[in-house]
Chain A
Amino acid sequence: MKLTDIITAANRNLLKNKVRSFLTILAIFVGSFTIILNSAINAGVNDYIDSQINAMGGEGYLEMTPTATMDMMESMMSSKVSEYSDEKKDASQSISFKSEDFEKIKKIDGVKSVYPIYLSQEDYVTSPYTDKKYEISLNGTVEGFELDMETGEMPNVSKDNTKFEVAITKKYVTLLGFKDNEDAVGKTIQFGVPSTAKCYTVAKRSDCQTVVEATITGVQADGILTIGGGARANAALLNEIHRINSIGMPAENADVAYQATAFVDPDKIDQIKEELKKMNITAMTIDDEIGTFRTFLDAMVAILNVFGGIALLAAAIGIINTLFMSVQERTREIGLMKALGMSRAKIFLSFSVEAISLGFWGSIFGMLVSMTIGYAGNTFLHSEGMFLENLPTFHFVKFTPEVILPIIVLVMAIAFVAGTAPALKAAKKDPIDALRYE
């Protein structure tokens, strides 16, 4: 018998017992549906997290803080009272970076570049198209960032660029009086920047503020890491803000970096972290920061997969049962086929193909239904008032062949294994006994 004939015959045999086959397929469907949907969510969410990490410079991006700052924050958060010791204070040292620290960090193997983050403070943002002023939090962007841009481009980060440039987030487009993203790109907006020292001496806050103009280069898509963040500026703009902030301050107080960032070789990240730790600097990657979320996600996926697995196990028992019944019912047919010269191997194959077909159809239906529900759910979560409304690039589910195919193959493999015992029983049947069977 040819393989195509075996496959056709197997599926026709399944159709002969519609109800029984349907119920078995239903059981497989439940398991594969759970696992496929679960994996699609896992892939979708992780994909999004990865894209967000890349927006922040990717795996090689480190945020550095003096360990003393971290300890201080920890003791502030802690309810325990620690005992004071001179040694601990000496060891923890300063909560700011010293200028020689940056030289030392640059020399660590694998570090590509280091950027100190100086204090920069802006009071508001406004534009010629609105009367209102809005609070904003302005962050920097450096080479290596791949901001998730919806319109336009990232600010030019090259050191030679002296123009003040900024990429705003979507929610500021309408607030600042623009019609849409395209309208905003290329327009100039104003930041109100305080000179901190002066502000202690004047009566009105506006008397110590300087207006700085910057050009919008593009609009960022909203993402989990841009929520709360308002806009990203290039170094020229941040340096100007820092300069205005520092007016009237002694130089040693002005040029203090409490935080720094670095780009490093992702493969050497662990050694670099160790080196920095010796320098009393705590370094974290974006992955470290959202690590707890990933762990939570992984745990959820694992639990749901266990449920899916249990469903598949039950389905496998269903397959065994169905096929044993089928072998029993078709004893005579098996005997006849053997008498007519069908080999044991082909009989075994026929029943195995029947089992695999059950697995195939179950997982295909699982795939179709999980895709329908997944995409519908995704659309629903992006609709008005739902929590993904402001995250258009966050696809909650991701159905790609790489996600789905391995699961379908796995389910078919489980079905095959479940089918071996009945298939073997069929293959072993003696044609004589089978033909005598009444």
Chain B
Amino acid sequence: MKKASPRAASTAKKAPASFPVIEVSHLSKTYGKRTTAFKALDNINLKIFPGESVAIIGKSGSGKSTLMHLMALLDKPTSGTVKVLGINASKLKGKKLNRLRNKYFGFVFQQFFMNSNDTVLENVLLPLKIGKVSRFKRKKLALKALDIVDLENKAKNKATNLSGGQKQRVCIARAIVNNPKILFADEPTGNLDSGTGKKIIDLLFGLNQKGTTLIIVTHDEDLAALCDRQIRIVDGQVVNESKQKAGYIRRTAIKEGQKEDR
């Protein structure tokens, strides 16, 4: 995929006074009760701005997935608040919450979560189906999303017949089919070899450069380093927030990936 002036894009999206798409304050999550209580997240505060790419990095069990689930409104915090697009999520119930997730979020999972007996096309248009988009329109949008991940020719194939990398690309197509504001990716390269992983990385950052906010949960330092910002979680707390010279590093990484492709 062609990368159009990443430097310019990254300057544009760091424009000041932008309004956070996700704002987390004093967020805690405790599992279990009393003696068995386990604090998965402890007083987390962070803001994510539109167009940013953010890595939530930590070891297995650090609480990074829990944080992503809370930000994606898949789970409810024990205390603290999550604001999405300026709306306090705890005030959102049922229909509105489902609509928000359906319209503004995209999800890429490590284990793909595809319905293996359905066709690739069916898998990609699932969010639109849930969002009551008409049959004709959702097919059009799904094919467009598949075109972006370069799998348009596999639309009619059964999902089960794809390779791991192709599956993850289908997942990306599914995640972007609703043209989301925020894309959550949970270990997107975790199950892939490094070559295929790089293709996925290219795709994700390509979308990011077109304006989609990207939140990647990973334990992979190299992947995290490609993001604008790294939020390191240890034992449920943010220990270190760092900003990389993202554009430079990313561009290098992409170039290397392209070389390997050749």
Contact = CB atoms under 8 A, between A and B. Distances in A.
A339 interface: yes
Q: Tell me the interface secondary structure of chain B in the complex.
A: helix
A341 B174 CA distance: 13
A341 B102 CA distance: 5
Contacts of A339: 72, 74, 101, 107
A343 B100 CA distance: 12
A341 B126 contact: no
Contacts, number: 51
A432 B107 CA distance: 13
Interface string B86-99: 00000000110011
B115 interface: yes
Give the interface size class of chain B.
20 to 34
A5 B138 CA distance: 12
A341 B127 CA distance: 8
Interface string A323-349: 000000000110111011111101000
Interface string A2-40: 100100000000001000000000000000000000000
Contacts of B129: 1-2, 5
B128 to A, nearest CB: 10
A297 interface: no
Contacts of B69: 432
Contacts of B126: 336-337, 340
A136 interface: no
Contacts of B109: 435
A339 B100 CA distance: 11
A431 interface: yes
Q: Tell me the interface secondary structure of chain A in the complex.
A: helix
B132 interface: yes
Give the interface size class of chain A.
20 to 34
A343 B98 contact: yes
Contact of A340 (B75, B117, B130, B132): B130
Contacts of B257: none
Given A1-B132, A340-B130, A342-B130, A431 B74 contact: yes
B131 interface: yes
Interface in B113-127: 113, 115, 117, 126-127
Given A343-B95, A435-B109, A337 B130 contact: yes
A435 B130 CA distance: 18
Nearest to A6: B129
B115 A340 contact: no
B117 A16 contact: yes
16 contacts: A1-B132, A333-B113, A337-B126, A337-B130, A339-B72, A339-B107, A340-B102, A340-B107, A340-B127, A340-B130, A341-B102, A342-B102, A343-B95, A344-B94, A346-B130, A435-B113
Given A335-B113, A336-B113, A339-B74, 15 more contacts: A2-B129, A332-B113, A337-B130, A339-B101, A339-B107, A340-B126, A341-B102, A341-B130, A341-B131, A344-B94, A431-B74, A432-B74, A432-B75, A435-B109, A435-B113
Which 9 pairs of residues, A with B, have the shortest CB-CB distance? Answer: A341-B102, A341-B101, A341-B98, A342-B130, A340-B127, A336-B113, A343-B98, A431-B74, A1-B130
